[in-house]
Amino acid sequence: MTKIANISVGGRNPVRIMGILNTSPESFYKKSVNTTRTKIKNAVIQMENDGADFIDVGGMSTAPYLSTIVSEKIESKRVLDAIKIIQNHTNLPISVDTCRSSVAEMALKNDVEIINDISGLKYDKNMKDVISKFHPSLILCAYDSKPILGNPINSTKKLLKNSLKIARDCHVSDKKIVLDPAIGFFRKAGKGKFFTKIKTDWVERDLSIIKNLNSLKMKYPILISVSNKSLIGNLLQKENPSDRLFGSITAEAISVLNGADIIRTHNVGATLDAITIATKLSK
């Protein structure tokens, strides 16, 4: 039985919802940005009331098509400030979205229970030391710093297996790991550092992944993060992320039908409604 921060996920458990809290003004979805104490507090209380199981805090945008790198000091301060506010207003488990070891260590020292590393522990060579020391729950994302070729399902599985090996070498229990197939992070080109280069069409790659989630599981729960992303914008021809709500919750509901165990979303209430109906109608 997989447990992420003591919450059971996967198998016969309900599909879990991870609410996104962005503290980075550079983020692609401006409506999700919360930088003041009051906004963070209100956002967290709203997410809990809407049914979130976890809060995922990010201090630096990693959208591949944006140039949004900030210093580790800035990322760390943003994340720490948010952690303190969240802990004052809810007991929901906190996940920190970072691939920098210094930010992860700071978070874990402040009672964060989950590290969500979009590089699958591959970007920062010191991340392994931090994970070995604290043994947090992990969300491992498919990633490679080098271009990849071949079938998207097979190549994604290979990248996830590489990250699983790193986690095992850090002595993290398999029962504390969730896999993320990285919707939106496989591109031909980009301005950021945190994407995997492919030569094929990225939209087709992401669609193939969502259609075949069960084949990616390898006995681990799967997390899907598609909320308001450019995949939705591309399919609907909607450039403004604020216009992608209905597309997002449809994709999330179908992801659940295809095997997703956790949905990471900006739209907690709407997402919960959609996946509740999807789950009921799939049985």
**Domains, the chain, with CATH or none:** 2-281 (3.20.20.20)
Q: How confident is the model at residue 34 (pLDDT cuts 50, 70, 90)?
A: confident
User: CB-hemisphere CA count at 13 Å for 8?
Assistant: 5
* pTM for this model (two decimals): 0.94
- For residues 182-200, one letter each, b for 16 or more C-beta atoms within 10 angstroms of the residue's C-beta and e for the rest, the string is bbbbbbeebebebbbbbee
The fraction of the chain above a pLDDT of 70, given in percent, is: 93
- How confident is residue 63, by pLDDT bands cut at 50, 70 and 90? low
What's 60-93 look like in SS3? CCCCCCCCCCCCHHHHHHHHHHHHHHHHHHCCCC
Hey, CA dihedral for 35, 37, 38, 42, is it positive or negative?
positive
Distances (CA, A) of 243 to 147, 202, 231, 256: 32, 21, 13, 22
Task: Say what the pLDDT of residue 53 is.
Answer: 98
Tell me the pLDDT tens digit for each residue of 124-181: 999 999 999 999 999 999 999 898 888 999 999 999 999 999 999 999 999 999 999 9
User: Is 36 a residue whose pLDDT tops 80?
Assistant: yes
Confidence of residue 195 (pLDDT cuts 50, 70, 90): confident
| Lowest-pLDDT choice from 62-76, 119-133, 184-198, 229-243 | 62-76
